[in-house]
Structure 1
Amino acid sequence: MLSQLYIENIAVIEKASIEFQTGFNVLTGETGAGKSILIDSLHAVLGERVSKDLIRTGARSAFVSAAFSNINEAVEKKLEELGYVPEEDGTLILQREISMDSKKACRVNGRPATVSVLRELGSLLIHIHGQHESYGLLSPESHMGYLDRMGVPETLLQQYREAYRRMLRIKKERDSFEIDEAQKARQIDLLTYQIDELEQAHLQPGEQEALNEQRKMYRNSEKIASALQLVAEALDGEEGSVGAVSAVSSAANALLEAGHYLPDAAVLEERVRSLCYELEDCSAEITRLFSQIEYDPEELEQIEARLDLLYRLGLKYGSSTEEMLNYLETCREQLRKIELSNERIAQLTAAYQEAKAEAVCYAAKLSQHRKETAALFSARVKQELSFLNMPHVDFVVAQEETALDSNGCDKIQFLISTNPGEPAKPLARIASGGELSRIMLAIKTVLAGVDQIHTLIFDEVDTGISGSAAQKVGLKLKEVSTSRQVICVTHLAQIAALANHHFLIQKNVREDKTYTEVHALTHEGRKRELARIIGGAEMTDLTLQNAEEMLRMAGNGA
């Protein structure tokens, strides 16, 4: 359950810490006091999209922290999947900071996290029901989800969706083969031409680079020969001059002679002799290089022609021989697929029929479960609506067979009739705002036993109702709170009086700045707040007595 909500610099709230309790919690306050800000803060820490406008004027950042205790097994499993662990005492803390520079720092038990991680965890921790969800009831797309949560096995739904996805994958592959014969003939002609052109080129990996190097050498052969000639003359000498090899050899011989009398000269002779051998090797290597640069105009012409061919092929099939070879293999594979397409289509058709039969089988099982669940769900919702002062409402779950989609073969729609004898019609055509709120509360009550979420938040679920209907809504919320933590933002005294814990959201102005604070109310504070809700700005002894009586009747006497 949500045990603490800490808010800092959110809208008109500078700092606020609320210690929520088990059971039924209510928040009240004057219009504009900031009740919706608490809901916005919860949306933020649960990973929902938020705006920088939420940051308090003058502040650079806002911060929200939500602490949860006694988390359930589903949350623990999700934490493990995401790489987090709860605190030793089982506490889970979600935190989010929103800054003006668009940075959004999130943490789970002090460790860095992403907004999507908060969203995944938040969906298992809290369900916030507000007016937007009531109006979501008007969309039939949401109705199947409510029904499935009531009585459709999750494993069966997963089995169906896996079979359905497999069926779609096979169909997509089969469709890729099914082209008309004229298009197939054109593709075969094009692929055959491209394959022949590339095969006749006898491409070799790295060939283009090697030919470019060879062409570069041939084009600069005169410069290379001139440089090598200078080196050869320096090493071997010219007519009438001594080269480096001969000179160093003579120096080594002289040192050898001196070494007979001077030991250090003998050591030096070995070093100079090594230089002589190295220069002789260099001279031989220069001779070998000379043999490689023999200029052959015909061979250069062949290289140019080959590079020109590779260039033209490269414009069509890839910038390198490796890319062209890969393209060749792709063409061969495509041609093989087309040539074998009839056989492959037959194989895929058989596989598709098999996958479709499996999906249809699972869809039929889903449909049967929904049919059985719909009867129970409808009866339970009508029972709850009767308690909520809607005794003559007929609530019907309409089930219609459709083509297979990701949810099976059913179209589910909730219909109601508010007057006996009138046919049931879609909610959008019949229900008012107050009726939608009670229908949603009835559905939540029916689902309370199957939902694993421990905290339900109702944001002004009492909109559009009053009198005994409001009393019934309060009683129903209290009933739900026996198995779940319920937090309700309300403006009705009948509902607030029934809560186990009452928090007042109060707006004050100090030094020309607006501040919103949240206070846990004592019995006396609750009495005065209920009197304010009942009587407005003027509080009388009568309204105070009325408030005291409401608390006493709700079992919350002094």
Structure 2
Amino acid sequence: MLERLDIHHYALIDDVSINFGEGFSVITGETGAGKSIILGALSLLLGEKADAQAIRSGCEVATVSASFFLGDRIPVGIAHYLEENDLGLDEGCLLLSRSIKTNGRSAISIQGRAATRTDLSAISEELLDISAQRDHQSLLSPANQLQVLDAFGNCLGVKESYQSLYRRCQALQQEKDALKKNLESSLREAEFLKFAVDEIKKADPKPGEDDELTEQIRTISAYEQIHDSLSLATNLLHGSENGSSLLGSLHQAGKLIEHASSSDPSLTNLYQRLDSSFIEVQDIYESLRDYLSSMSYSEEELDRLQGRLALLQRLKKKYGHSIASMLAYKAESEEKLNQSEHGEELLIDLEKKLKLTLGELEKAAQVLHQVRLRSALVLQKEIEETLRTLGMREALFTIEVNPTALSASGGDEIAFMICANPGLESRPIKDVASGGELSRIMLALKTTLSHHDSVGTLIFDEVDAGIGGSVALSVAKQLKKLSRSHQVIVITHLASIASQADEHLVVSKEVSDGMSFSHIDEVQGHRREQEIARMLSGDGESEVSLVHAKQMLDTVAQG
């Protein structure tokens, strides 16, 4: 239950702390006093978007905090969040807080630790439920009516099985559409792709071949320069008929050093080093000689290499900037050709899978339909019985579950129907229900669903819209009954509802030093009688109204 609500610098409220008790509480006050501000503050804790305009004039930050007593009855989602974040309750209490700043940013904490708006929304939805006039209007939406029915009938397991098949069908349909599109594209491209693949296959390029060809052409083109340089080098190393020889000189020098080392052993090392150099130069000379003897120049080979390189360059321009890109294009084209050749078979196979899955989906939709039909019969009976206690004694409430095209939510179209007066046909509530009737239908719905949910605190705003007299008293008694299993907080203008409450809070407004302030106070005894009297006649000091107010409160107290 909601134990305490603290509001600081929010709209007309400067600094207010509200303590709530168990059972049935009402919030009353004159129009414009600030009752809706309390609802707005609570909406922030439900994760709704923050509006910096709500910060009190002259202040930098507005803060709303709420303490909920859970005891040992912790909702599953909240228990999981606390465990996941290594948090615990403080004497059975959970604290939610949210601050909004003038720059539009907000800070959120759960149990004193920073949290996200998504976390706050998920947590608060398990703690309280706010029913306002906009919810009455949402009740007119067939999609929302379907959600209500599914929640009541515990259809989530069956619905999830259906939605799993639905997602599979969607995936198969998308795969089929993509394959069909690719197939059509492949067929259009087939002639060109086949030409490209044949042309690349015929050329049979090898990775890095263009670089190798370039190097070979460069070498052959420099044949004369290479041959002359190597010929001169071998002549210098080995000597010519009329010239000296480097090898001969090295050999002769070695002999001389060897002869000298016989007299001076310290020269032996120099002789050995020169001998090693002679062997290395001899090897270089022989390698150059062999290379020269193998060299040949062929104009035809040069033309062939240049022609091959030109072919590869042309193909690269057509099918890629490199041989690797060209080969990748060839592989991709072969895959497309393969698809065009075998695509019809793949398409037929995919259509068979889709048809089979659609059959399973239709069966799942039928199962869901039957569950909804059974749930609708129970829910409409409970709502109708509750409506009779709310002054709609002749009302016939039905829920139509009609087959429609399959969608993500199933194959059903839901319509809440009502016949408020005997002799008339039932029609959708959006067409015939007045504001007061919508309020009572919403209350009946909340009352019925309250037996099937774990939300501990129910807040009603404008539940009294369009009603009065005996109907208002019936609504008050229904709210009183609902408060036996839930904490019920109602913002109301009707004395007949306010008089039934266990706790009465009054919102008032005053102007001080040119500034408006809203205050919230609990009233009891004579003060409460005055507020009830004001709600009855607009005058809290009227003797007649005070007597009537006291009678109403005494009647409630007596039972």
Given residue 13 of structure 2, which amino acid in structure 1 is its aligned partner? Answer: I
* Contact 2:127/2:457, CA 8 A, preserved across alignment: yes
* Contact 1:82/1:117, CA 8 A, preserved across alignment: no
Q: Any residues of structure 2 matched to 1:467-546 within 5 Å, and which?
A: 467-546=469-548
What is the Cα deviation at residue 407 of structure 1? 1.9
Q: Please identify, of 382-391 and 370-379, the stretch whose mean Cα deviation from structure 2 is larger.
A: 370-379
Aligned residue in 1 for 2:21: 21
* Contact 2:28/2:35, CA 8 A, preserved across alignment: yes
CA distance in 2, matches of 1:91, 1:327: 66
CA distance in 2, matches of 1:497, 1:336: 81
What is the Cα deviation at residue 189 of structure 1? 3.3
CA distance in 2, matches of 1:321, 1:80: 59
Aligned residue in 1 for 2:3: 3
Given residue 20 of structure 2, which amino acid in structure 1 is its aligned partner? Answer: F
1:125 to 124, 127, 136: 127
Aligned-partner SS, 1:340: helix
Question: Quick check: 1:109 aligned with 2:111?
Answer: yes
Given residue 44 of structure 1, which amino acid in structure 2 is its aligned partner? Answer: L
2:164 to 156, 162, 165: 162
* Contact 2:4/2:20, CA 8 A, preserved across alignment: yes
2:377 to 357, 369, 375: 375
Aligned residue in 1 for 2:256: none
* Contact 2:539/2:545, CA 8 A, preserved across alignment: no
What is the Cα deviation at residue 42 of structure 1? 1.4
Closer/same/farther in 2, CA of residues 29 and 190 from structure 1, 3 Å limit: farther
TM-score normalised by length of structure 2: 0.78
1:357 to 356, 359, 379: 359
Question: Quick check: 1:384 aligned with 2:386?
Answer: yes
Aligned-partner SS, 2:440: helix
Aligned residue in 2 for 1:244: none
Aligned residue in 2 for 1:551: 553
What is the Cα deviation at residue 384 of structure 1? 0.8
CA distance in 2, matches of 1:49, 1:180: 45
Closer/same/farther in 2, CA of residues 30 and 176 from structure 1, 3 Å limit: same
Aligned residue in 2 for 1:39: 39
Aligned residue in 1 for 2:409: 407
Q: Please identify, of 182-191 and 63-72, the stretch whose mean Cα deviation from structure 2 is larger.
A: 182-191
Given residue 34 of structure 1, which amino acid in structure 2 is its aligned partner? Answer: G
Q: Deviations over 1:369-423 (max 9, x none)?
A: 1111212211111111111011111111112111211222211101111211111
Q: Deviations over 1:78-112 (max 9, x none)?
A: 51586463425343222222222232222222222
* Contact 2:316/2:326, CA 8 A, preserved across alignment: no
What is the Cα deviation at residue 436 of structure 1? 0.4
* Contact 2:398/2:418, CA 8 A, preserved across alignment: yes
Quote the RMSD (CA, aligned, Å): 4.4
CA distance in 2, matches of 1:60, 1:207: 72
CA distance in 2, matches of 1:378, 1:82: 40
* Contact 1:6/1:16, CA 8 A, preserved across alignment: yes
Q: Any residues of structure 2 matched to 1:255-334 within 5 Å, and which?
A: 310=316, 313-314=319-320, 329-334=331-336
TM-score normalised by length of structure 1: 0.78
Aligned residue in 2 for 1:177: 179
* Contact 2:462/2:491, CA 8 A, preserved across alignment: yes
Given residue 40 of structure 1, which amino acid in structure 2 is its aligned partner? Answer: G
* Contact 1:389/1:469, CA 8 A, preserved across alignment: yes
Aligned residue in 2 for 1:262: none
1:91 to 79, 90, 93: 93
Q: Deviations over 1:430-450 (max 9, x none)?
A: 111111000111111111111
Aligned residue in 2 for 1:60: 60
Aligned residue in 2 for 1:394: 396
Runs of 5+ unmatched residues, structure 2 = 223-276, 278-283, 285-290, 292-301
CA distance in 2, matches of 1:13, 1:556: 36
What is the Cα deviation at residue 192 of structure 1? 3.9
* Contact 1:393/1:417, CA 8 A, preserved across alignment: yes
Aligned-partner SS, 2:398: strand
CA distance in 1, matches of 2:123, 2:209: 57
Aligned residue in 1 for 2:12: 12
Aligned residues, how many? 507
Between the aligned residues of both structures, percent identity stands at 34
2:467 to 452, 465, 470: 465
* Contact 1:75/1:125, CA 8 A, preserved across alignment: no
Larger of the two Rg values belongs to structure: 2
Runs of 5+ unmatched residues, structure 1 = 222-276, 278-283, 285-290, 292-296
Q: Deviations over 1:137-181 (max 9, x none)?
A: 222221111112222432111111111111221122123233598
CA distance in 1, matches of 2:122, 2:97: 14
Closer/same/farther in 2, CA of residues 306 and 535 from structure 1, 3 Å limit: same
CA distance in 1, matches of 2:92, 2:201: 68
Q: Deviations over 1:53-100 (max 9, x none)?
A: 222222222222222221633333551586463425343222222222
Q: Deviations over 1:271-317 (max 9, x none)?
A: xxxxxx9xxxxxx9xxxxxx9xxxxx999998898677646645xxx
